[in-house]
Structure 1
């Protein structure tokens, strides 16, 4: 946990590319810059293309992966 693997520049690139969000298993930096980007949200699409139908749901409390679509 000595290095951040994501910061504001990567978040801005993800926003420009139209990504719904980024899941980071590690440290981040530039939190104020990241919070200004239009990425993140309640529900992100399929995690692996057409292979498994797994869905990722996230909010400020955590992340949930489900094999079926949940009604929110």
Structure 2
């Protein structure tokens, strides 16, 4: 049985995390914040897909239990991999956030949802849906390899990856 893992978002300050835990991995500063939460964090679940958000749709329909969905969308700027409907589903199913190495859309609505969303940019075109992609595998972007079960902490300063849950600096 999965149990929701609550992280106090007020405690997430990535510069303080880096100072206290110098071994955390820091993703290159490629991302912009599109969600209403300035900070979010949780255990990582991964997807690798390219211009096909079928796996994203499948994942957000499942219980998130406070996890962060990290999607390697190949860095594509040709379509959006997350929009308002999937983001609303993610909120309803208890996801803490989504980090998209690709684009999102419906950004004005994303900014109102209680969900952390970081992405490379926005794009009005939706993705294809052919059922392609992989879940729960190691993915690499922004100079960091990210594995399911690691912990992600994000705020407006950046995104850090830890091998395990951290005791956050007060």
Taking the aligned partners of 2:157 and 2:103, their CA distance within structure 1 comes to 17
Paired position in structure 2 for 1:3? 79
Larger RCO (alpha carbons 8 Å, 6+ apart): 2
The two structures have a TM-score, normalised by structure 1, of 0.73
Q: Does 1:65 align with 2:165?
A: no
The number of residue pairs the alignment matches comes to 63
The list of structure 1 runs, each at least 4 consecutive aligned residues, that deviate by more than 3 angstroms after superposition, is: none
Cα drift, residue 67 of structure 1 = 1.8
Whichever of the two has the greater Rg, that structure is 2
Match of 1:40 in 2: 116
Give the gaps of 5 or more residues in structure 1. 42-46
Relative distance call for 1:20 and 1:26 in structure 2 (3 A) is same
| Worse-superposed segment, 7-16 or 61-70 | 61-70
User: 2:152 corresponds to which residue?
Assistant: 56
Q: Which runs of 5+ in 2 are unaligned?
A: 1-76, 118-146
Q: CA deviation at 1:70?
A: 4.6
Q: Normalised by the size of structure 2, how large is the TM-score?
A: 0.34
More strand by share: 2
